[in-house]
Every structure is written in C-alpha cells, then in structure tokens.
Amino acid sequence: MRASRFHLATLKETPVDAEIISHQLMLRAGMIRRHAAGIYSWLPLGLRILRKVEQIIREEMDRAGALELLMPSFQPAELWQESGRWDQFGPELLRLRDRHDRDACIGPTHEEIVTDIFRREVNSYRQLPLNFYQIQTKFRDEIRPRFGVMRSREFIMKDAYSFDIDKEGMQRSYDIMDQAYINIFDRFGLDYRAVSADSGAIGGSTSQEFHVLADSGEDAIAFSEQGDFAANIETVEALPPRIERSAASAEMQTVDTPGMYTIEDLANGLGVSAQQCMKTLIVEAEDGGLVALVLRGDHELNALKAERLDGVASPLRLAQREQITATLGSDIGSIGPIGLNLKTIVDHSAAVVGDFVCGANQDDKHFINANWGRDCEEPVKADIRNVVDGDPSPGSTGQLKILRGIEVGHIFQLGQKYSESMQAAVLDENGKGIAPFMGCYGIGVTRVVAAAIEQNHDAQGIIWPAALAPFQLAICPINYHKSEVVKQATDDLYQQCLTRGLEVFLDDRALRPGVIFSDMELIGIPHRIVLSERGITAQQFEYKGRSDDSAQELPLDELKTFVDKLYPDQCAPG
C-alpha cells in the first residue's frame, strides 16, 4: 500500500473526550471515528486490524470444528417471548416496532435465533455434536458507553453455540472451545489469563472469562501466586480470618467528628488506621425496607455476594440518602452498627476487629473503642467483601494477588435453558425427544483491538503485536519525489516485498521525515526501513524495530535478505 493512495488520517492532538490510552490512540491513528455515544465507524486502517483479529478467530474456530453462519441483527420479539427474555432483559435490549406494529429487537446476543435455527434444521442425535458460530454486529444499549470501542453500544462479537445430546457432550464441546480460545489468544500475542467467572444474565453454571491484562482494565482478577487458582474477583470467596477477635481494652466513648464523612477523613482525623474503622453501607431490602452491611474500612463491598444474602434486594441497590435520613435520623457519614435498629450483616473480617471506630448514628459523632458482643449484640456474619492482595487463596495453597483485566472472551455452559423453553428437541437412539445441552462462547472482537493497544503502547503510539499489525513493514524514503536514486531503490524494495506477499506500507508522501516517522510510530508498524540518498551513497540503509531505542545503519547489499528474515515463514526460498 502506498500512503498516497491510502486514507491515513492521523491526528496530532489528543482528543479531549477520550479518557483511556487505547481510545486516544485509536482516534489519533485514524482507526475509528465516532458518530454518537458508543457508535463508531472503522476507517480503513482500523479495519485492517479488525480483520486480522477476525481471521485468527475464524481459523481457530474452523479448526475446532465449528461451522460459520450469519444471523440477523433484527430479531422478532416472539422468539424472545418464547425464551422468556423479552420481559427479563433490561434496557440494554433495544426494542423497536416495525411498520406493521410488530415488536422486535436489535440482537444483543443470539441464543434465541440460533435455537430457532437448530430446531428447524436438526432432528436427530446423529447430527450432534454441532457448533454454529458467527462474527457479527451486536447492539446493547449500554447505560454508560465509554472508552471508545471498549464499551460501545454497537460492537462486533464472535459468538458460538454448541449443541450436544447430554451433559458429557456439552462438557466436551466446552473443553474444545476452551482450547480454541487458548489458541486464539496465544496467536494474538497478548498477555491474557483465563479465569473462572459468574454466569450473569445469560444463565447456566460453569463459565470462564478470558482477560487481557492491563492496568486500565475494568475487572479485577484474583490469582493464587502458588497454585493455579484464577477467578474474577466478583466470584472469589474471602475465607474467614483464622485469628480470634482482639480483646476490648477500653470503654466505648463518643467523639465529635465534624466534617469527617469518609473512612479516610475519619482515619486521618482520629489518627487510626482504616482497618480499625467500620464502614456501614445501607442497602435496600427485598421488602422495601433497609439492611445495613458492615465492612472493615479498607475493604470493598462485593455486590454479587451482597445481593445473594437473605432479605437483600437483587440486583443490589444502595439506599437513597433521603430514605436513610428519614428512617435512621442521621446522615450517611455517621451511621454505625451500635444501637442501629436495622437488620445488620457484618463481614467476617470486620467481626474480628476489637476497639473499633464507627458512626454513632448522630450527625457528626462517632464511637471509639466499640466492641462486638459488649457494646452491641454478637454480629451476624457473612462474606460480603472483595478479596484483596495477600488474602489466602481458596481452593489452593498460597496467597492471592489482584491484577486488572479487560474481559475479551467468555465461555459458558447453558444446559437446556433455551432448548427447553423454545422446544428444540432431537430424537435419541430410542426415538425419544431430548432437549439438547448447549454451550455459548463469545469474543468481543472490537474490544480485542482496544485491549491490545491498552497493553501495548508507548509515548509515541501503538506497538502492535506482529499478528495484529495493520502492515508488517513501513518503507520510508527521504526525498522520494526529488531523488531518482531514492525513488529507484524504494520502488525496487517495495516490489520485492509485494512479490513476497508482505503487507508493506510505502510512505511516499512529500512530507518531512520527522512527520513520516512519527506517523509510522503512532500507527504502530513493527518494522521501519529508511532509504536516503546519503545512505545509498554510503551503501547503507536504516532500520528500526518499533520498540528499539534507536535506529541502526546496515549494509545496503544485505537489504533483500534482511527483509526476507523479518517474516521468514512468509517468504518463499531463493
């Protein structure tokens, strides 16, 4: 590709509304453009990368025996009514009505459609196992679309659905997909982890997520530093501390704490550690009332654990400030478990703290030296917090370490949820109808592109892993339009690369070398060769790998073999 024929749309300035680096770099490199919240076009450069991601996925899915098809975005409501999700799905489901007043939605996922296909096309156990997949556009009306294509409303997903006659078959299909995902993410060349996960709204039991590791990741994932335990923090059990509660050493006292509303204010103001302070959160109860949840000040509430508690509303909702002040008579910054007339559940770690600090249920007052069992009843305990670095690892030895990840893939076992509700059955060997056992397997194709950048960039721009780079090699001539020798050498090299099937980008724009170099670094091409008149006279060319600190001068007569060696697998011998 010649730059003069390409739409290279790089921007010098960092767009102000782009918060994270991948979003900034995708805009600056001219990969995507925004039309509305969470709605993007992919420009030619971005599309090249997207296609690479798709191609790797397609090859590995095909190799794993899955069959590609293509399903519609527009989905009739009847199918969703059959599965029961028409009423269950929240506002993420974009519902619409066509000119004949028929209800429909734009597909956020395709369990209903694929089950409809299956029940019409497949009728015997002999046709199983079967795995259908597609790479297709989804729409989810996300409440907070952000970070560009990382969390957009319209995005491309690879989704696959397996069908088996029994549970064992479903497990086998799941294991095959698990391995296919490992192959896919290995081929991307990204640092990732597979972790066990919650199954969320789609249903089913066994489930695993694939996360690309990056500090900006929305998810926290917990790993055992010694064992092989790895899970999304949402699902990880915090084991109760093995230590006894420390004994009370002083009488409880009320202290004035004006202006101290957060745990940090309180710890600083009273000169104690956050661990010593109790954080009391008021959430809505199932019956419309309130429930108090108490955590150590340095711990965070785990919403999934909390909403599973008896009496707590699911999904979890923090109580409104007005309801709290009206019911409890004091503001949120001063609430505590002592003398509180509410159902109260205390995290295991909070329940072993002695002489603690907590709100006194009067504005601007706290208790110090409060003790469970002495100043109030023995607490009702539960695991309601997120695990933290250094917690013991459940299910294996060692301690947990927490890292941030971007969820790029998710595999689930669905069981018979859709095949039963939508009456998709096949005949078994005795002629009896059986609802097949399904699995579903997603990869956020557009999100993978953003995650790859989030993990691989520097101050100059993107550093593509070889498998995803839009071009493999940049040729940057200096004075291409003025120097005949430069033009000749450049055109020869360009031809050689094309003949070899390399994806080469020739920057033949009449621009200053500095501008060309910074564009090539911004868009992240892995290798750069510079040809100049001075170099050619000295029988040299310049080479720089995208992550190299500096360029090197190499003998011109080795240029051909040098280029062949960059991508040896792709070059025909001789």
Task: Give the residue carrying structure tokens 């009456």.
Answer: 423
DSSP state letter for 501? T
- Cβ 179 to ligand ATP shortest distance, Å: 18
d(CA 534, CA 538): 6
- Nearest CB to ligand ATP, comparing residues 157 and 530: 157
* Cβ atoms of residues 432 and 123 within 8 Å: no
- Cβ 140 to ligand ATP shortest distance, Å: 5
d(CA 41, CA 7): 14
* Cβ atoms of residues 115 and 424 within 8 Å: yes
Closest residue to ligand ATP, based on beta-carbon distance: 444
Do β-strands 504-506 and 473-477 pair in parallel, antiparallel, or remain unpaired? parallel
Q: For residues 337, 340, 345 and 348, what is the CA-based torsion angle, rounded to 10 degrees?
A: 20
- Nearest CB to ligand ATP, comparing residues 449 and 530: 449
Give residues with Cβ within 8 angstroms of 165, minimum separation 6.
125, 128, 129, 426, 428, 434, 436, 437
- Cβ 444 to ligand ATP shortest distance, Å: 2
- Nearest CB to ligand ATP, comparing residues 214 and 563: 214
Q: Any bridge partners for residue 401, and if so which?
A: 223
- Nearest CB to ligand ATP, comparing residues 90 and 258: 90
* Cβ atoms of residues 202 and 109 within 8 Å: yes
Query: How many Å separate Cα 47 from the centre of its chain?
Result: 20
- Nearest CB to ligand ATP, comparing residues 61 and 353: 61
Helix (H) or strand (E) holding 486: helix 484-499
- Nearest CB to ligand ATP, comparing residues 218 and 503: 218
- Cβ 198 to ligand ATP shortest distance, Å: 9
For helices 445-455 and 21-28, angle between their N-to-C axes, nearest 10 degrees: 100
- Nearest CB to ligand ATP, comparing residues 119 and 447: 447
- Cβ 177 to ligand ATP shortest distance, Å: 13
Identify the burial level of 205 via C-beta atoms within 10 angstroms of its C-beta, where 0-12 means exposed, 13-18 middle and 19 or more buried.
exposed
- Cβ 331 to ligand ATP shortest distance, Å: 33
Interface residues toward ligand ATP, by CB under 6 A: 109, 140, 142, 151-152, 155, 157, 200, 407-410, 442, 444, 446-447
- Nearest CB to ligand ATP, comparing residues 199 and 460: 199
For 146, other C-beta atoms within 10 Å of its C-beta total 16
- Cβ 556 to ligand ATP shortest distance, Å: 46
- Cβ 230 to ligand ATP shortest distance, Å: 16
The gap between the terminal CA atoms of the chain, to the nearest Å, is 24
